[in-house]
Amino acid sequence: MKAIRLIFALVLVIAGVLLLLNRPISAQTAAKSAPGLTRITIVDAGTAGKPDIILIPGLGSSRAVWDGEAKLLAPNYRLHLVQVNGFAGSPVGGNATAPDAASAILPGVVDELHAYITAQGMHPAVVGHSLGGLLTLMLADKYPGDARKLVIVDTLPFYALLFAPTATVEMMRRQAEAIRKQIIATPDDQYAAMQQIVVPQLVSNKDAQKLVEAADTASDRTVFANSMAEDLTTDLRSDVATIKTPALVMFAVDASAKQPDPAQYEALVRSSYKPMPNVTLVKIEDSKHFIMYDQPAKMDAAIEGFLK
């Protein structure tokens, strides 16, 4: 049990995808969500008639994590802000299923994104942070004609490489299952207390830290744990070479960070995306995992420059 707790703590500290940011949706995004979806909801906002952008938050996060960036993009783009059901206090919907191949959350989300894109008759840019970045890669891999451009924010094609450079899906499967069960079983008070250790590892902005600490427990714990286990066992390293959609990959580097080591993390990001044929890598310095909070101006400049 002690080993499982240590693994659980390590995952929370290292894997920046494990935290949610839940803030009220701004007035500009207060629109009706798209019908016919069970695993996600999508709010249509921004400026009608402008180029489309889909924004996908990370594990546990609310769509409101994009509020700051959405305000900057809204005048020139039509925005489609995604919420994974069960994250950040949203209804669980179609994600209230057992963790097996037939009911896997991430492939289900990808299929619903594809259905939405097809129904809307659009060819959007897709922006994803953390787990949302993995979903963006999965979408481009399975449905290569859906997106015109990809923006991947601090995401690896196989996140388990942060544990060991020789990690494989089979190596991670047992650990991911143990962590999944431990997250679900952890008492609420212990789970909340852990955030005081975890949050400063993921975001430097003090106001954002308070939001993260206050909001983490809003996610449905089972949906959160199941999604995290899927994330840890999804390996797209061999797939990125076939993704030809133009892509921007932003990655955060904080010189003060101990986990992961900044130099090692940068090397890992660069080697992971090296096979991708049309990728641009941008290092965002003095930032932790939530770049939109630690370096919003740098992130916006990179996104808007790439989308032009």
Residue 175 vs residue 259, higher pLDDT: 175
Segment 52-60 shows an average pLDDT of: 95
Burial label, 27 (beta-carbon count in 10 A; 0-12, 13-18, 19+): exposed
pLDDT bucket at 215, cuts 50 / 70 / 90: low
C-alpha distances in angstroms, 55 versus 14, 43, 66, 240? 24, 10, 7, 20
Tell me the residue range of the domain where 219 lies.
2-307
Average pLDDT value over all residues in the chain: 87
Task: Give the Cα separation of 72 and 69 in Å (integer).
Answer: 5
| Residue of 102, 108, 100, 99 whose CA lies nearest to 38 | 108
The confidence score (pLDDT) of residue 284 equals: 98
Alpha-carbon distance 271 to 58, whole Å?
A: 22
What does the alpha-carbon distance between residue 158 and residue 167 come to, in Å, rounded to a whole number?
A: 9
Instruction: Give the dihedral sign, CA 212/217/223/228.
Output: positive
What does the DSSP assignment read for 247-267?
Answer: EEEEEEE-TT--SS-HHHHHH
CATH number of the domain that 45 lies in?
A: 3.40.50.1820
3-state secondary structure of 17: helix
Residue whose structure tokens are 């490489």: 161
- What is the number of domains present in the chain? 1
pLDDT at 22 (0 to 100): 35
CA-to-CA dists, residue 70 to 45, 61, 263, 306, angstroms = 9, 15, 31, 16
**Per-residue pLDDT at 208:** 86
pLDDT of amino acid 274: 97
Q: What is the H or E stretch that residue 126 is in? A: strand 125-129
Whether the pLDDT of residue 26 is over 90: the answer is no
Q: What is the pLDDT of residues 76-115, one digit of tens each?
A: 999 999 999 999 999 999 999 767 766 899 999 999 999 9
Give residue 251's pLDDT. Answer: 98
Which pLDDT score, from 0 to 100, does residue 199 have? 80
pLDDT at 209: 80
Give the per-residue pLDDT at 273: 98
Contact 55, 82 (CB under 8 A): yes
Question: Distance (Å, rounded) from C-alpha 76 to C-alpha 72?
Answer: 8
Q: Is the torsion defined by CA of 188, 190, 195, 198 positive or negative?
A: negative
pTM: 0.90
